[in-house]
Amino acid sequence: MYPTFVIAGRLRRDYLLPPVGHPLIDVPGGDLLYAAAGLAVWEGSVGLLARVGEDYPHEWLRAFEQRGLDTRGVRILPEHLDLRFFQAYLDPLTPQRNNPVAHFARLGLTYPKALLGYQPPAEVQDDRKTVEPASPRPVDIPEDYLDASAVHLCPLDYSTHNRLMPAFRQGRTTTLTLDPSASYMIPAAWADLRLLLQGLTAFLPCEEEVRALFWGQSDDLWEMADALAAQGCELIVIKRGGHGQMLYDAPARKRWEIPAYPTDLVDPTGAGDSFCGGFLAGYRQTYDPLRAVLYGNVSASLTIEGSGAFHALETLPGLAQARLDSLAEIVRQV
C-alpha cells in the first residue's frame, strides 16, 4: 500500500537546550519529523522523503517505522553526512544556534563529546543555485510515493523545491503544500518564487519570511498575502508564532485570523513544522482551509508542551479533538 501522505525534508541529530526541562543530546529531529508528527496526530500512512549518511543511527529509522512512518523514502548515502543541529534559548521564544560551548557552560552542563568540532550552519542569503547534500532528490522518490494524494515540502533549498514539485505533480498528487526556506524569501528571488507558487495548494511561510520578501515594498501582511496568492496559489497561511496564524483564502476572497491555542510553552522547537503537518491532515479530511488551519494550530500546541519531535503523539487520547472544538469557537473573519 502506498502512503496517503508524503513529507519531504531533512532529518537531523538534535542537541537541544530547551527553555524548560532537561537537555536533549543527540536525539532524532529535523523539520521532517516534526511535520510528520503534526500530521500523525490526525492521520496515518505517512511516507518520509529525505537523505542521511551511513552514520545515521539505523535504530532511529526502525523506531520511526514502529510509529507507523514509512521510511522507504529515506535514502542512506554511502558517506558521512554531518546532520548535527544545536539550539538553545536565552528566553522561551528566541532560539540561539551559535557558540554551543558558551551555552553549555552557562547552564553548568558538560559539553557533549559528540558535539566536538561542530560548526553552526552559515546563514545563506540566497541558495537558488545551491543543492544541499542532505536535500532529497527526485531520484530518491519511491515509485509508489508518486501515488500519494497529498504532499508537503518542508523548508529546503530553492533548487530542491523546484525539482520535487513537478516530480510529484506528474504523479497523482492533488494537494501540494510548501513551507519555504528563509534563504530564498528575499526580494531578489521574487521571479523564481513565482514559479513555485503557480498551482500550489497552500503556501505556509512565517511572518518574518514574508516581511523579508517584501522588505521596502509593503508593511501590510494582508497585502503581501494577496500578492502571493495572485501568482496562482490557492491558500496563503502566515504563521505568527504565539500570535497564531493569518489565512487568506484566494478563491473565496476571505481573510481569517486564528489565535494560537493557549497552552504552557515548554519548547517551541518544531512548532511551525508541526503546524504544517496538521494543516495538511486537516485539509485532506475536510477540504476546508479554515478547518485545516485549526488542525495545524492544535498540532503546534501539542508540540510546544514538551520536547522532542514526537511529543505531540504522546498526549492523552481525545485532547487534540477537544482543542479543535474549542478553537473553532474563537476564530474571526477579517
Give the CATH number, domain containing residue 140: 3.40.1190.20
pLDDT at site 180 = 97
CB 30 within 8 A of CB 7: no
Query: What residues contact 236, with CB distance under 8 A and at least 6 apart?
Result: 202, 203, 225, 228, 229, 247, 248, 250
To 10 degrees, what angle do helices 31-40 and 271-286 make?
Answer: 40
Q: How many structural domains comprise the chain?
A: 1
Neighbours of 128 (CB within 10 A): 16
Cα 72 to Cα 61: distance, rounded to the nearest angstrom: 10
What secondary structure letter does DSSP report for 1?
Answer: -
Q: Is 102 helix (H, G, I), strand (E, B) or coil?
A: helix
pLDDT at site 123 = 72
Domain of 241 in residue numbering reads as 5-333
What single-letter amino acid sits at 80?
Answer: H
Residue closest to 84 by CA, chosen among 108, 116, 54, 111: 116
What single-letter amino acid sits at 205?
Answer: P
The C-alpha cell at 98 is: 551559535
pLDDT at site 21 = 87
Neighbours of 86 (CB within 10 A): 25
CB 283 within 8 A of CB 8: no
Structure pTM? Answer: 0.96
Cα 264 to Cα 19: distance, rounded to the nearest angstrom: 12
Q: What number of CA atoms fall less than 13 Å from residue 215's CA on the CB side?
A: 9
Q: Indicate the Cα dihedral angle 26, 142, 286, 242, nearest 10°.
A: 30
CB 293 within 8 A of CB 276: no
Query: What residues contact 314, with CB distance under 8 A and at least 6 apart?
Result: 306
CB 144 within 8 A of CB 172: no
CB 40 within 8 A of CB 67: yes
pLDDT at site 124 = 66
Residue closest to 178 by CA, chosen among 161, 190, 195, 194: 161
pLDDT at site 185 = 96
Question: For each successive 10 residues of the chain (334 residues), what is the average pLDDT?
Answer: 94 96 96 98 96 98 97 97 95 89 95 93 76 95 96 97 96 96 95 96 98 96 98 98 96 95 94 98 97 98 96 92 90 79
Q: Indicate the Cα dihedral angle 16, 17, 20, 22, nearest 10°.
A: 80
